[in-house]
Homo-oligomer: A and B are copies of this chain.
Amino acid sequence: MTENIYDDEAFFAAYSRLPRSLEGLPAAPEWPSLRALLPDLAGKRVLDLGCGFGWFCRWAREQGAASVLGLDVSERMLARARADTADRAIVYAKADLEHFAAPAEPVDLVYSSLVFHYVVNLAGLLGGIRASLASGGALVFSVEHPIYTAPGNPGWSEAADGRPVWPVDGYLDEGPRTTNWLVDGVIKQHRTIGRTVNLLVRSGFAVTRLEEWGPSAEQVAAHPDWANERQRPSFLLVACERR
């Protein structure tokens, strides 16, 4: 089963207090870049893998999506998503992405934000996503960037001249990484960009955009404490089409 730290009580409480949990998509600094990768949603059938509190599902409907299916492994998150949603065209359901089966009806867009790095069997999941998509369908997703996930002991350091640097090690040794984020012992899967791209190609996708995300100069001007985040990307954003 996919890492389901989201049903851990302490994690859930801390996660619920994050800006992106309280305020939704606009509080996620990478959202403008991820949004730019999305197709026009008017009339589209949308599947959100790892829907969390349902912020994207509701936004997709505001953009004119015909229907949205939000899947998540966490009962706690689904319960809150349902409580926060009054729209019969949005359906939430529990699913373990480690054993994902395509829904009965095909969709036009599969979206997933910061979830795939918890999934061990990404090849299997991508096969299921490919099978879920109608002809011409798209997959848009974000994951933590491998520069961010690689280190055994991740964190900023200082060069001899005082510049902030992000020490990288273990980049080519893929597999689980245990980190302390909100609570101790969260397990994520470190994958190179090459691995992700090659899995996509072998699963029947054509990569159409790949963004290594850090805050823009404008975002740093508005949030000076984000300046370090220009030194190395924190997220990888990918758009692809079903071939």
Contacts and interface: CB of A to CB of B under 8 A. Distances in A.
Given A147-B147, A207-B201, A207-B207, A232 B169 contact: yes
A133 to B, nearest CB: 17
Interface stretch (A38-46, A106-114, A210-218): A210-218
A169 B159 contact: yes
B169 A212 contact: no
Centre residue among A157, A192, A194 by max chain B CB count within 10 A: A194
A167 B171 contact: no
A175 interface: no
A103 to B, nearest CB: 28
Contacts of A152: 163
B173 A169 contact: no
A193 B212 contact: yes
Interface string A140-171: 00000001001111000101010111111111
Interface residues of A, number: 37
A172 B145 CA distance: 13
B164 A166 contact: no
Given A169-B166, A232-B169, A209 B214 contact: no
A218 B147 CA distance: 24
A147 to B, nearest CB: 6
A137 to B, nearest CB: 17
A234 B118 CA distance: 27
B151 A168 contact: no
A167 B166 contact: yes
Interface string A199-242: 00100001111111010000000000000001111000000000
A63 interface: no
A198 interface: yes
Nearest to A214: B172
A197 interface: yes
Contacts of A173: 230
A211 B193 CA distance: 8
A197 to B, nearest CB: 4
7 contacts: A147-B168, A151-B165, A153-B159, A159-B169, A169-B231, A171-B231, A197-B209
Interface of A: 147, 150-153, 157, 159, 161, 163-173, 192-194, 197-198, 201, 206-212, 214, 230-233
